[in-house]
Amino acid sequence: MKPWLVGGLATWLITAPVSASTFTFEGTATGENGNTLYTEHHTIAGECQAGVFRPRDHQAEYRKPGSEAAFAEKHLTFPESVLTPLVDFSQPDFNEHMSITYPKPNRVAIDWRTPFGDREQFSVDKANRLVVDSGFDHLIRREWRALNGGDSVNFRFLGPTRGEYYGFVAEPATNREVDAHLVVKLRPTSMLLRVLVDPIVLGYNSEGALTDYLGLTNIRRNKDTNYTAHIRYSVSQYPACALVQ
């Protein structure tokens, strides 16, 4: 290959266009009796890189039915991996606040003000294939072809209120409550945890957008327990590029 062609190709790769884009969607969480528990409102700002959306900043508001005011908020940023965002989450009704940061490349720091007024702080290793908070959503998109092909994907999921991570697997599944292009079940790999922790079921449309979340949520019912809900999502604005390759 001629030197000028090599140089030109390298320059094109380095200066390939990156354009800003926004992805917005809403969710309605319903309980076992079918009543609406709350709604979610998500705005993700990011960039189109090589034709695929790459999130940079994610703002989420949680609202009670019929209200425009947020009773809980979450802010995620993705300075490095989409699987391990920086997290800032607050539920003022319970005086609860949690932050997840990475003070060193191989460390995860958790600072949690509990609903009981205590402060819990943890520092754990940043394990290989670690997934934090809603990083699982981006894991599904990253492994889109494998999951659509019937393969399972192993990862480690951070349990921030315990300051530990656990082995999990994402696997194609079926569920009578979720009708979607791709249905995925997230479950612990440990036999003991399978007894203690119910799986989470996710649904995705053919474009890679989340349509359903069925399982334990991050929103509190009371100081001791969180809601278990079926959250149904709808997209109000897709980014200007694809969500999956």
The 10 Å CB-count burial string (b at 16+, else e) for 39-72 is bbbbebbbbbeeebbbbeebebbbbeeeeeebbb
* Mean pLDDT, range 232-238, rounded to an integer: 99
Alpha-helix residue ranges (DSSP H) falling in 108-166: 135-142, 144-148
Per-residue pLDDT, 197? 84
Q: Is the pLDDT of residue 22 over 50?
A: yes
Give the three-state DSSP class for 147: helix
Q: Is the pLDDT of residue 114 over 50?
A: yes
What residue ranges in 176-238 does DSSP mark as E strands? 182-188, 200-204, 210-220, 226-237
- Hey, CA dihedral for 165, 127, 131, 174, is it positive or negative? negative
Per-residue pLDDT, 17? 59
Give the three-state DSSP class for 3: helix
Other residues' Cβ atoms within 10 Å of the Cβ of residue 5: 9
Is the pTM for the entire model greater than 0.85?
Answer: yes
Alpha-helix residue ranges (DSSP H) falling in 92-219: 135-142, 144-148, 191-196
Per-residue pLDDT, 208? 99
